[in-house]
Amino acid sequence: MLRIRKKRWKIAYIVIIGVGLLAFLNGAVVPRLFSDPLSSVMANVFVVLVVFGGVRSFRGSDEPIEPPRAWWRMTSRPRAGFVLGALLILNLANSVFGVVSGSTDPQLTGVLSAVVDALLAFLYISSSIRLVRDPPQIERQHIVHDLPRWAPLKR
């Protein structure tokens, strides 16, 4: 499985896959292939797949690379999960407001996105609570950044 540890590659994944591919699929591909109710279902399925692809691929600096994460673990640190959960709750509130006010064209789209946001927010926040309560016991990996510089021997 692909493991992404560097911040620049995580940002590239989010921008290219998360924003670019989802915008292309939601705008160009999904509406032409599927009917209206099914297109909102497919768009939310793509969102969940992208999120879980990132969750399973991203690794923190203190996490081992090879073994898979625990099934419940969404982030490497609790703060990241709390922040992402709060952002998803704000998006959930936006979806609920859109459904209640009638501003979303098909109401199924707003309801589905609200359900997906609620589920993802619950997973991120519960993962962070679990990380705070019982932090993982991980051995620090020793990473060699530079080779040692040896002084010449004196005779």
Query: What is the identity of the amino acid at 7?
Result: K
Does 47 map to a domain? yes
Does 59 map to a domain? yes
Other beta carbons within 10 angstroms of residue 29's beta carbon come to: 15
pLDDT digits over 74-107, tens only? 998 899 999 999 999 999 998 888 888 876 566 7
> Could you tell me the pTM of the whole model?
0.76
Does 28 map to a domain? yes
Which residues form the domain of 127?
Answer: 7-133
pLDDT given for residue 155 in this prediction: 67
Domain count, the chain: 1
Does 149 map to a domain? no
Distance CA 36, CA 25 (A): 14
Q: Are the beta carbons of 91 and 117 closer than 8 angstroms? A: yes
pLDDT given for residue 40 in this prediction: 77
Across 39-58, average pLDDT: 85
Whether residue 143 is predicted with pLDDT greater than 80 in this model: the reply is no
For residue 43, which of 58, 54, 28, 53 has the smallest C-alpha distance? Answer: 28
Residue written as tokens 């591919």?
21
Does 138 map to a domain? no
